[in-house]
């Protein structure tokens, strides 16, 4: 039957997601897609909680970003199936107790890469000042008292900080092109992000559905 069974779990390298959680996500997927096999951007419009979110556009975008879907090419896809949905969800897996150093490091890099893609909207591998300004503007939009200039100065200030961490002192003529992924990683050294970027499932015992 169409879309009745969730696909194989082979895409998760340590199998830390239980089959129950997959079933739940599958049900959610079907709810969002209105029982179709794929989801499009418009399907995310039906989530009221998401409307609150200022970076809603970027989050939805992230689901369709080919880089997040581990595809070789660049750009955006039009629609995603359940496997893609799970791929994006895997970025928000919580850490498991039994992970070793290497796994933890890979884990962290993946999450930061996801974040990096969110900022780097033109997919050129660098976060430029303009791209960063866009994000800050989105976060601050809706406040009539905050002028564009203030949003800009916040963005510029933050970029300066980033530059100083990554490149050290710059001469007055030097142009800072943008934050590369390596610089991005440097910025986050020592800061614990793993606990901030995860969604933890509650344990579900024999759950029944009444029709």
Partner 1 sequence: MEDVGSVVARVGAAWLALVFALIVLPSALGISLGISEAYMWVLVKTLEWATIRIEKGVKKPQPEILKTPAANGIIERDETPMEKEIARLHRVDFEFSDIFYFCRKGFEAIVEDEVTQRFSSEELVSWNLLTRTNVNFHYISLRLTVVWVIGVIVRYCFLLPLRFTLAAIGITSMIVGTTMVGQLPNSSVKNYLSEVVHLTCSRILVRALSGTIHYHNKENKPQKGGICVANHTSPIDAIILTNDGCYAMVGQVHGGLMGVIQRATVKACPHVWFERSEIKDRHLVTRRLREHVADKSKLPILIFPEGTCINNTSVMMFKKGSFEIGGTIYPVAIKYDPQFGDAFWNSSKYNIVSYLLRIMTSWAIVCNVWYMPPMVRKEGEDAVQFANRVRSAIAHQGGLTELHWDGGLKRAKVKDTFREEQQKNYSKMLVRNGSIG
Interface with partner 1 (CB under 8 A), residue total 65
Can residue 1 be called a binding residue for partner 1 (CB under 8 A)? no
Let me know how long the chain is: 211
The mark string for 55-94 relative to partner 1 (x by CB under 8 A, - otherwise) is xx--x-----------------------------x--x--
Give me the phi and psi of 126, to 5 degrees please.
Answer: -135, 140
Can residue 44 be called a binding residue for partner 1 (CB under 8 A)? yes
Can residue 14 be called a binding residue for partner 1 (CB under 8 A)? no
SS3 label, residue 80: strand
Can residue 167 be called a binding residue for partner 1 (CB under 8 A)? no
Q: What is the number of other CB atoms lying within 10 angstroms of the CB of residue 20?
A: 14
C-alpha–C-alpha distance, residues 35 and 26, integer Å: 10
- Judged by CB, which is closer to partner 1: 46, or 130? 46
Q: What is the number of other CB atoms lying within 10 angstroms of the CB of residue 37?
A: 12
Q: Beta 79-80 vs 39-40: how paired, if at all?
A: antiparallel
Residue ranges in contact with partner 1 by CB under 8 A = 18, 20, 23-25, 27-28, 31-32, 44-56, 59, 89, 92, 115, 118-119, 135-136, 139-146, 150, 153-155, 157-158, 161-162, 187, 191, 193, 196-211
């Amino acid at each position: 039957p169409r879309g009745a069974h969730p696909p194989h779990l082979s895409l998760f390298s340590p199998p830390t997601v239980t089959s129950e959680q997959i079933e739940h996500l599958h049900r959610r997927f079907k709810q969002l897609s209105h029982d179709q096999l794929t989801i499009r951007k418009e399907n995310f419009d039906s989530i009221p909680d998401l409307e609150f979110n200022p970076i809603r556009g970027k989050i939805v975008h992230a689901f369709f970003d080919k880089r997040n879907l581990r595809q070789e090419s660049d750009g955006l896809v039009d629609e995603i199936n359940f496997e893609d949905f799970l791929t994006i969800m895997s970025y928000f897996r919580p850490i498991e107790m039994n992970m070793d150093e290497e796994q933890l490091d890979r884990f962290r890099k993946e999450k930061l890469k996801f974040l990096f893609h969110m900022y780097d909207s033109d997919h050129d591998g660098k976060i430029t000042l303009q791209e960063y300004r866009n994000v800050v503007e989105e976060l601050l939009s809706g406040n009539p008292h905050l002028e564009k200039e203030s949003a800009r100065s916040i963005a510029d200030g933050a970029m300066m900080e980033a530059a100083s961490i990554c490149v050290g002192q710059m001469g007055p003529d030097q142009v800072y092109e943008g934050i590369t992924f390596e610089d991005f990683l440097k910025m986050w050294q020592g800061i614990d992000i793993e606990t901030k970027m995860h969604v933890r499932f509650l344990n579900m015992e024999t759950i029944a559905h009444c029709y």
